[in-house]
Amino acid sequence: MGRLELRNRIVFPAMVTNYCSTRGEVTDRLVAYHQERAKGGAGLLITEATYISPDGKSFPHQLGIDDDGLLPGLRRLVESVHAAGARIAVQLCHAGRQTSRAVTGLPLISPSVTRFGNDETSAMRQEDIDRVLRDYAGAALRAQKAGFDAVELHAGNGYLPQQFLSPFTNARQDGYGGSLENRVRFTVEAIRAVRAAVGPDFPIILRLGVAEPVSGGLTLEDGVAAARILAREDIDAFDVTAGMREGGMWVTPPLALPRGTHIEKAAAVRQAIQASRPVIGIGRITSASLADSFITAGKVDFVVMGRALLADPELPLKTLQGREEDIRPCIGCNEGCIGRLSRGLDICCAVNPRVGNEYRPLSRRAAIPRHVLIVGAGPAGLVAACTALRRGHRVTVLEKEAACGGKIPLAARPPFKEELAGYAAWLERQARDLGADLRCSTKATPSLIAELAPDVVLLAVGAEPVIPPIPGLAPERFLLAEQVLQQQGPAPGQDVLIIGGGLVGCETALFLAKNGCHPLVAEMREDLCMDIEPRSRAVMLLHLKEYGIRALTSCRVAHIGEGEAILCTPGHAEEHLPCSCIVLATGYRPRTALAEALRGMDMPVYGIGDCHGGTRICDAVWQATATAETI
C-alpha cells in the first residue's frame, strides 16, 4: 500500500468501540481488542475514528489524538499490534455536525448552518477552518511520534471533510462551496496539512465517501470526480465508502443488503484514477473467498473486513490453515456493534461474546467436570453446549425437532435472510466437533431427565407465540407467522391480514408478498419494526415499500368476523377490512412448563435464551455463555 508493506490484503477498519476513557485515553480493553485481531492475522488495523479536536468528538468514550498527553497510551496500542505481526494506522477524524453538545460540551461547527439532532451548527469561519487544519496536522504528527505505520484521513460517512464535499451540507458561497472543485478544497487542504506535518515518506490513506443516499446529497458521479481531483495529491491509498448518519444503513450494511455493498463504487474510483493508487473496498465482505473474488476481478486491491473480524478475529488465520468451516460467521444483525453504539454504549457482538472482553482471561477448565444436560438445540442451547465442553464438562443435548437450530431455520426463510442458516449449521458443527452428545427427535420429559441423571440442567426450550384475546379469533381463522414460514399457507393470491408489525410480522409480510399473496400489516404502535436496531429497520422499511406492502399503524384489531376484520384506527374510527386469511405475529412468551415440572428435583436448573426472556440471537448467545461459564 504505497510505502507500507502488509502481510496480506485484509484491513480491519475503523469502528468506534466506546472502550476509551472520557478523555479519549487508550485502555487495557482497547489494547486487547486490537491485539486479538492482529493475532488473528489481519494485515492492517485502523483505529476507530480518532478525534483531532475537542469539538470533533462524536462519542463519549471515543479514542482521541488531540493532546500530547495521550501519546503513552497510543504507543502502547501500537506496540501491542506490532508484537502480533500486524500494522496499524490511526484514523484522523473531525465530526463536524455529526456530534452533539452533550458529547463535546462545545458549539457544533460545519460548513454551513444546519441542524443535527437537537443542535444547530455554526457555519465555519476562515479562522475555524485554519484551526481545524492545524489540528489535523498536529494529530498526524502525534500519530507519527506514537509509532503508527500510517494515518487515514476520514473524508467519508458524513464527517467534516465530506460535509464540505456534499451539497447536502455545504451551501457556502465562498471558495469552499459551489463547484465541485471548491467543495473538495477543504479535503485537499487537510491532506496537504497532514503531508507537511509527517514528511514525504509517511503513508497517508484517504477514506473517501463517494455517495450519499439522501435527496440533494453527494452523487456517485461527483464522488468519483472528486476522487480524480484528490488523486493529484500526495496520498498512498483510497478507502472508498458511502453513506452518512441520515443514510446509516449504507455505512454498515445489514444482512438484508447484498454482500460487497460498495465494491462497485470502489471499482469506479479505481478506474477513474487509472489504478494509480491502491483502492480499499468495503461493505459486508464476509469471507476470504468473497474478498479474493473482488481482488481477482480487479475491482479493488485491498478489502475491509470489519464485522466479520468482530465475529471471528481468526478469520484470516483459519483461512490460511484451510479451516474455513470453523470460521464463526457474522450474521449482519448490527445489534451488538452498531445498535449499542447508537445508544451511546460500548460495542459487543451478537455471535462472539469475547468482543469487549478480550482483556479478561478466558474461562478456565472447571475444577470438577460435570454432566450438563441441555434441553433445546437452538442458538442458546448450542452456545451453552460449546462453552461447557470447552470447560471440560460432558454435555448431552436433547432436541424435540428432527434438526438443530431452533428458530434460526425459520428466521432464514424471509427474503434477504438466507445467510442466517449458515450460523445454525456452524453452531451444530462446533458442538459436534467438541464432543456434544446431540439427540434430535427426542422430547425431554422429567422421567427421561431423571434417567439421564445430569448434574446440571440448562433449559433452552424457547418461547411460544402469544395469542391475543381478540373477539372472534377462533383457531380455524388464523395461522401463526411460524406456520406461514413453514409454508403451511395461505395460498397465493389471498388477501392476508398480519396482526403485529414488529420484525416477525414484517418479515412474514415480505415472505408472503414474494410468494404471491397480498399482505396488509396492522400494528398497535406508531410505526413498524420498532423492535430492531435503526439501520436494519431502515432497510426493512425500504423492502416493504419495494414490495408494495400496505400497513396500518396506531390501530387495534377489535373483532374478527367471517371474511373480515374490524380495526379501530386513531380517533376510534372503525374500519372493516376484507381478508381471507389472518396471520398472528403478536410476540412470544417464555415456555415454562418443563421448568415447573422439574421443580423439586435434586439438581440445579437454569433457563437460557427465549425461555428466560431473551428475544434475539444476541440475548441467547450472551445468556448461554454467561450461564455455562458458571458451571
Question: Helix/strand/coil (H, E, C) string of 343-359?
Answer: CCCCCCCCCCCCCCCCC
- Neighbouring CB atoms inside 10 A of 501's CB total 26
Average pLDDT over residues 552-567: 90
**In contact, 525 and 554? CB cutoff 8 Å:** yes
Q: What angle do CA 611, 613, 616 make, to 5 degrees?
A: 95
Does residue 186 surpass a pLDDT of 80?
Answer: yes
The active-site residue out of 51, 136, 159, 176 is 159
* Sign of the Cα pseudo-torsion (16, 17, 23, 25, in order): negative
Q: How far apart are CA 199 and CA 495, in angstroms?
A: 68
Do 446 and 601 meet the contact criterion of CB atoms below 8 Å apart? yes
Order of strands across the sheet that contains 556-561: 556-561, 564-569, 573-578
Q: Per DSSP, what are the bridge partners of residue 584?
A: 480, 499
* Cβ atoms of 625 and 387 closer than 8 Å: yes
Residue bearing cell 455471535? 351
What pLDDT score does 118 carry?
86
Structural domain spans, the chain: 10-342, 371-465+589-629, 479-586
The whole-angstrom distance between residue 402's C-alpha and the CA centroid of its chain comes to 31
What is the radius of gyration, based on Cα positions, of the chain?
A: 26
Cα–Cα dist 75/71, whole Å: 6
Contacts of 144 (CB under 8 A, 6+ apart): 151, 197, 198, 202
Nearest Cα to Cα of residue 138 among 151, 128, 149, 154: 151
Angle, CA of 95, 96 and 101, to the nearest 5°: 85
CB–CB of 61/22 below 8 Å? Answer: yes
What percent of the chain shows pLDDT beyond 70?
99
Rounded Cα gap, residues 86 and 81, in angstroms: 6
Query: pLDDT confidence of 79, banded at 50, 70, 90?
Result: very high
Contact residues for 320 (Cβ-Cβ < 8 A; gap 6+): 41
Residue 613 in this model has a pLDDT that exceeds 70: no
Amino acid letter, 273: I
Decide: residue 419, CB within 10 A, 0-12 exposed, 13-18 middle, 19+ buried: middle
Tell me the H-state helices in 45-107: 71-83, 101-104
Q: Greater confidence, 571 or 468? A: 468
- Contact assessment for residue 594 and residue 375, using Cβ atoms and an 8 Å cutoff: yes
Looking at domain 479-586, its CATH superfamily turns out to be FAD/NAD(P)-binding domain (3.50.50.60)
The arrangement of secondary structure in 10-342, i.e. its CATH architecture, is Alpha-Beta Barrel (3.20)
User: How much is the average pLDDT of 542-559?
Assistant: 92
Spatial separation of the C-alpha atoms in residues 556 and 522, rounded to whole Å:
8
Write down the pLDDT at residue 614.
63
Supply the mean pLDDT for the chain.
Answer: 94
Is residue 101 classed exposed, middle or buried when 0-12, 13-18 and 19+ CB atoms within 10 A define those classes? middle
pLDDT digits (tens, 9 = 90+) for 257-267: 889 999 999 99
Encode pLDDT of 273-293 as tens digits: 999 999 999 999 999 999 999
The continuous run of DSSP H or E covering 606 comes out as strand 605-607
State yes or no: pLDDT of 615 exceeds 80.
no
How much is the pTM?
0.92
* pLDDT (0 to 100) of residue 117: 84
What pLDDT score does 229 carry?
98
Domain 371-465+589-629: CATH superfamily is NAD(P)-binding Rossmann-like Domain (3.40.50.720)
120-145 pLDDT, tens digit per residue, is 999 999 999 999 999 999 999 999 99
Q: Is the pLDDT of residue 247 over 90?
A: no
Cell of 314: 481468526
**Is 423 known to be catalytic?**
no
pLDDT-based confidence at residue 329 (cuts at 50, 70, 90): very high
The answer to whether the beta carbons of residues 283 and 300 sit under 8 Å apart is no
| d(C-alpha 72, C-alpha 282), whole Å | 31
Instruction: Give 33's pLDDT tier (boundaries 50, 70, 90).
Output: very high
Q: For 431-441, what is each residue's pLDDT tens digit? A: 999 999 999 99
Q: Report pLDDT digits (tens) over 351-404.
A: 999 999 999 988 889 999 999 999 999 999 999 999 999 999 999 999 999 999
Q: What is the reported pLDDT for 397?
A: 97
pLDDT in tens, 521-531: 999 999 999 88
Closest CA to 507 of 487, 527, 477, 484: 484
pLDDT of residue 190: 99
H/E element, 89: strand 87-93
Handedness of CA 443, 449, 453, 456 (dihedral sign): positive
CB atoms near residue 544 (< 10 Å): 22
DSSP 232: T
Contact (CB, 8 A) for 406 and 381: yes
Q: Which pLDDT score, from 0 to 100, does residue 328 have?
A: 97
Q: For the segment 201-244, what is each residue's pLDDT rounded down to a tens digit?
A: 999 999 999 999 888 999 999 999 999 999 999 999 999 999 98
Q: Give the three-class secondary structure for 423.
A: helix
Cα–Cα distance for residue pair 382/536, rounded to 1 Å = 26
Could you give the CA distance from residue 76 to residue 12 in angstroms, rounded to a whole number?
19
Three-class SS of residue 590?
Answer: strand
Least confident range from 72-86, 231-245, 612-626: namely 612-626
Give residues with Cβ within 8 angstroms of 14, minimum separation 6: 46, 47, 48, 49, 50, 91, 93, 152, 154, 207
Query: What stretch of H or E contains 271?
Result: helix 263-272
Which of residues 207 and 418 earns the better pLDDT score? 207
Backbone angles phi, psi at 604, to 5 degrees: -70, 140
Mean pLDDT is lowest, of 170-184, 282-296, 552-566, for: 552-566
For residue 435, what are the CA distances in angstroms to 396, 604, 605?
A: 9, 23, 22
- Residue 572 reports pLDDT greater than 80: no
